[in-house]
Amino acid sequence: MKLKTPKIGIIGGTGYENFSLIKKWQTKAIRTRYGEVQVKTGKFGDKVVIFLARHGFKYNHAPHHINYHANIAALRKEGVNYIITTSAVGSMNPQMEPGDLVLISDFIDFTKHRRNTFYGRKPIYTDMSHAYDPRLREKIKEATQSLNVKLHPEAVYVCTEGPRFETPAEIRMFQRMGADVVGMTYVPEVVLAAEVGIPYAALALVTNMAAGISPKRLSAEEVFEMMRKKGAIITKIFGRLIETL
C-alpha cells in the first residue's frame, strides 16, 4: 500500500512572504465557504508544501482583518498534515531579546472582536491543553539544535487585537500574568487549527522589546527590518523540520 505524500502547510507572518527553498511555485486560489485564499504550492524533497501568507502576498491585510477562518479552511481543504507558522513578536521577557527565536508553548487571548470558532450555536468544546502540538514543537527544537541556532524552547504568547501596539500599562499587566511575548495574529488561528484537528506549531521571532521596556518608540519598520535579517535562518529551520516529517 502506497503511503500518501505528506503535505505541510506553512503560514508566513510579517515580512515572511516566501519559503525560498522552493524555486518553482504554482499559485493557486482555494475557495472556501469563508472566502477565497491565495496560496503557493511546491515540492520540497518528497513533501508537498502549501505556503500561505497570513497578511496576503502584498501585505494588504491588517491583523484584525485577516480571514483566519478562510486560511485554516483552505489548508484543511488541501489536506495538510501539519501547519507550521512564524510571526513577529514583541518581548516583555528581558531574557528574550530582539533577534531571538522563541517556540510558543501557550497563549493568552486578549482579542476583542474576532470570531474564534468554526462552530455556530452548537455546543462544541475544544481542548486547548496542548494548543501547540508537542511533537511538532519537539521537531522544531531538534531542527534548531542541528543548525546550532539559539532557541527559547517555551514562551507564553499574548494575542492582542491590533493594529495599534500595546500600552506600557498593558505590558505590565501581561508580565504579571506570566506572559513572555506579545503579538496580534496567532488567535484565532491556533484555535481554528485545533478545531479541525491539524497539528500546529509556531516559531516566532522577537523583533522588538515591548512598550515601556523599549527605550524608543515602536514602529513597523523595525519589525520588518528584523524579519529581513532573520528570515533566512527561519527558512533553514523549516527546511530541516520538513525533512523529518
- Mean pLDDT lowest among 44-58, 96-110, 217-231: 217-231
> How many residues appear in the chain?
245
Nearest to 124 by CA among 33, 195, 188: 195
In a domain, 127, yes or no: yes
What is residue 15's predicted lDDT score, i.e. its pLDDT? Answer: 82
Count up the domains in the chain and report the number. Answer: 1
What does the pLDDT average to over 136-150? 97
Residue 145 lies in a domain: yes
On whether residue 36 sits in a domain, the answer given is yes
Assigned domain for 14 exists:
yes
Structural domain that includes position 226: 7-244
* Cα separation, 225 vs 219, whole angstroms: 10
In this structure, is residue 2 part of a structural domain?
no
Q: State residue 92's pLDDT score.
A: 96
- H or E element at residue 7: strand 7-12
Lowest mean pLDDT among 3-7, 46-50, 88-92: 3-7
What's the pLDDT at 70? 97
Distance CA 23, CA 217 (A): 38
pLDDT of residue 17: 85
Average pLDDT of the residues in 81-92: 96
Name the grid cell of 72: 485554516
Q: What are phi and psi of 164, to 5 degrees?
A: -70, 155
Quick one: which of 204, 239, 211, 226 has its CA closest to 54? 204
* Cα separations in angstroms, 193 against 97, 149, 159, 174: 29, 27, 16, 25
Q: What is the CATH number of the domain that holds 210?
A: 3.40.50.1580
Q: Is residue 1 part of a domain?
A: no
Q: Is residue 135 part of a domain?
A: yes
The mean pLDDT value of the chain amounts to: 93
145 pLDDT more than 90: yes
Global pTM exceeds 0.85: yes
d(CA 55, CA 218): 20
Residue 2: pLDDT over 60: no
pLDDT digits (tens, 9 = 90+) for 40-85: 999 998 999 999 999 988 888 999 999 999 999 999 999 999 999 9
Residue 72 resides in a domain:
yes
Q: What is the pLDDT of residue 4?
A: 73
- What confidence category does residue 97 fall into, taking pLDDT thresholds of 50, 70 and 90? very high
Q: Where are the alpha helices (DSSP H) in 55-199?
A: 68-77, 134-146, 168-176, 186-195
Provide the H-helix boundaries in the chain.
68-77, 134-146, 168-176, 186-195, 220-244
With cut-offs at 50, 70 and 90, classify the pLDDT of residue 1: very low
Determine the Cα–Cα distance for residues 40 and 42; give it in Å rounded to an integer.
7
Indicate if the pLDDT at residue 214 is higher than 80: no
The SS3 assignment for 162 reads: coil
